[in-house]
Structure 1
């Protein structure tokens, strides 16, 4: 990591000119190969920022560069060649009657030759462990499986960046874990730079870096450990701390000598077992 793949410089965006800005003077950088989580409550500006990064909106002021291409009305389609997006509701993303048809849809739109299309469908569905479901109808799949198919449809086009816009918010815990692990595997393999837009800090804790949005502005930025040290400041702007972090705090208040601010249940359980073995 280290090479800048997205550079956002002092952007401001209004949905209506007479209204308050949805984004005001926001600057961020995204490094190639990293997983960046952008978090905030509803109305914080995080989803607006995601849509600008995908060229769905163009900022009123400031500059956005994606893979060296500066975003403008003329370059929107060039930007979208580099950025794929997975939205909140998987049922609204399907256009094909089978998994195979759905993954093929984006490839057909990009004019990919048939032989190459077959190869990419096979590659993408294997990457998300859905290659055994090619002839299945999407509405028969679980929520987590549907989102994995949506991810396959995005990566088959081979973008440099994938944006998950609240892509796990409608899933049960198992489906959420399926999707996050799928994306983590792709990110670890160097296939994708990942930007996840979420209000779920437990999901964000798995990212390499977190940007916190509030009121259309950047509130905080850093590694998960650095951001979660803000503790009550995050609660004050409407965010819920990850359960393991809350529990670590409560245990210390009860006199149990928990040293770490644990972001995962596994880390907390491991420390508790260590403490128990010393008793």
Structure 2
């Protein structure tokens, strides 16, 4: 992949200092440059708490977090946030500008970026998410997928090394979800930004390069999507649903259909079924 951008070692976090069970319990992980890392888990697994630590929204009680050469501490929080941008679940809660242009520019204005450079960055960012035709529209007139793409543009304009999507597709319809995930895939492939997606949706995680599964505040599993989905029923037991295409692939193989793989995506399954049909 590339160099390590985030290095997390043995972090512990409790929302209440006297809590018996921490929200994060001795969690270690790394994030590589130019990868898409999906962190998955059911509600209460610790995945969103982990996202907030990585962005410096909360500080761990123990352990270390390094983003590049910067260690997360109270005095370095704003340096961390310049490197790690975050897109949240509900796009409507993120808008502050009266137009798409104003909204994407908001963070740059707050950081005192000069006007000419700000115009340049806004134009570049909206092009990255294919929203350049909507610059003068009011955000509340956009679809859910378009709103999240604007939110992504607002993050990109600030030029972070890493972008975290915290359940950013969970409130979208299927079309909006695909719009956002395709945008993320292209940004990652172009090397524009390293991506961390926090999700309970294994269909979304299947598109990532690497997956970390959280359960009960601990790291339950880690590997490529193919390696993680091999855990099969163990994932179901901790409250996750295997992707439809993966389950259907396995059922077809059990019925004698000579599939080479249990497919992680519907596109892959359809392609192999079509190939088999063409051979026959």
Query: Counterpart in 1 of 2:5?
Result: 5
| Consecutive aligned runs of 4 or more in structure 1 exceeding 4 Å deviation | none
Q: Tell me the CA shift for residue 271 of structure 1.
A: 1.7
The secondary structure found in structure 2 opposite 1:150 is helix
The secondary structure found in structure 2 opposite 1:213 is strand
* Distance in 1, Cα, partners of 2:118 & 2:86: 20
CA displacement, residues 215-268 of structure 1 (integer Å, 9 cap, x when unaligned): 000000001111111111111111001110010111122232223110111111
The secondary structure found in structure 1 opposite 2:137 is coil
Q: Tell me the CA shift for residue 272 of structure 1.
A: 1.3
1:164 aligns with 2:165: yes
Long gaps (5+) in structure 2: none
The secondary structure found in structure 2 opposite 1:102 is helix
The secondary structure found in structure 1 opposite 2:74 is coil
Query: Counterpart in 1 of 2:232?
Result: 231
Query: Counterpart in 2 of 1:88?
Result: 89
* Distance in 2, Cα, partners of 1:126 & 1:278: 42
* Distance in 2, Cα, partners of 1:278 & 1:165: 43
Query: Counterpart in 2 of 1:253?
Result: 254
Query: Counterpart in 1 of 2:109?
Result: 108
1:272 aligns with 2:251: no
Alignment of 1:127-166 (within 5 A): 127-166=128-167
Query: Counterpart in 2 of 1:195?
Result: 196
* Distance in 2, Cα, partners of 1:97 & 1:167: 22
CA displacement, residues 158-205 of structure 1 (integer Å, 9 cap, x when unaligned): 000000000000001110011111111111111101000000001101
* Distance in 1, Cα, partners of 2:15 & 2:150: 32
Q: Tell me the CA shift for residue 26 of structure 1.
A: 0.3
CA displacement, residues 123-166 of structure 1 (integer Å, 9 cap, x when unaligned): 00111111111110000000000000000000000000000000
* Distance in 1, Cα, partners of 2:191 & 2:256: 43
* Distance in 2, Cα, partners of 1:152 & 1:256: 44
TM-score with structure 1 length normalisation? 0.98
Query: Counterpart in 1 of 2:71?
Result: 70
1:174 aligns with 2:175: yes
More divergent stretch after superposition (193-202 vs 251-260): 251-260
Query: Counterpart in 2 of 1:15?
Result: 15
Query: Counterpart in 1 of 2:36?
Result: 35
* Distance in 1, Cα, partners of 2:111 & 2:231: 45
Long gaps (5+) in structure 1: none
* Distance in 1, Cα, partners of 2:157 & 2:55: 17
The secondary structure found in structure 2 opposite 1:44 is coil
CA displacement, residues 51-105 of structure 1 (integer Å, 9 cap, x when unaligned): 0000000000000001210001111111001010000000000000000010010
C-alpha RMSD of matched pairs (Å): 0.9
The secondary structure found in structure 1 opposite 2:263 is coil
